[in-house]
Amino acid sequence: MPAKTNGARLLDQFGIPYELREYEVDPNDWAAETVAAKIGLPAEQVFKTLVARGHRHGICLTVLPANTELNLKALAEASGDGKIQLVPVKELQSLTGYIRGGVTALAGKNDYPVFADETMDLFDVISVSAGVRGMQILLTPADYIKATKARLAPLT
């Protein structure tokens, strides 16, 4: 049985059912599509978490399918920021408490607004980082939204 992460503990507190799925990490390949293949799910069902900074509202998290790219204009519109950009990788840990490849909106260091791509609702189960490299959490989109207070928006 995989070790519990802070994200898993948060889901336990909410009484939310989930599955932890471990995979071998390749330090030369952090691509979310690679993670999807390793855990046996289609890339569009595995959601990556990116950290962005808006000029009005500051930091937010965006959650989108592994095989897509973030549309910054769409995120700016959803967040109410006129201008928004991704934060540099070197800032991830200080902002979220997580390192690249392990960033999640579950039980982060700070309670940032979360914007999830609307395609999340197309699936019975999605996968997100468990908060460490090499582990994913599988849960329903509704439970993810409940745990993170995410707002659905078109982000890709």
92 located within any domain: yes
Tell me the residue range of the domain where 110 lies. 6-153
Three-class SS state of 125: coil
Could you say which DSSP state residue 29 is in? B
1 located within any domain: no
* Mean pLDDT computed over 43-63: 97
**pLDDT one-digit tens code per residue, 103-153:** 999 999 999 999 999 999 999 999 999 999 999 999 999 999 999 999 999
At residue 154, what is the residue type? P
Three-class SS state of 55: coil
Please report the pLDDT score of residue 30 as a whole number.
82
* Mean pLDDT computed over 37-42: 96
Please report the pLDDT score of residue 1 as a whole number.
63
Q: Quick one: pLDDT band at residue 2, thresholds 50, 70, 90? A: confident
69 located within any domain: yes
Please report the pLDDT score of residue 46 as a whole number.
97
At residue 108, what is the residue type? G
* Mean pLDDT computed over 52-62: 96
32 located within any domain: yes
Residues contacting 148, CB < 8 A, separation 6+: 61, 63, 105, 106, 114, 116
Task: Give residue 17's region: left, alpha or beta (phi > 0; psi -120 to 50).
Answer: beta
Task: Indicate the number of domains in the chain.
Answer: 1
Domain at 101, CATH number:
3.90.960.10
Q: What is the mean pLDDT of the chain?
A: 95
Q: Which tokens belong to 85? A: 């950009």
In degrees, rounded to 5, the angle at the alpha carbon of residue 135 between the alpha carbons of residues 52 and 64 is 35
Please report the pLDDT score of residue 154 as a whole number.
97
Residues contacting 149, CB < 8 A, separation 6+: 113, 114
CA–chain centroid gap for 148, Å, is 10
42 located within any domain: yes
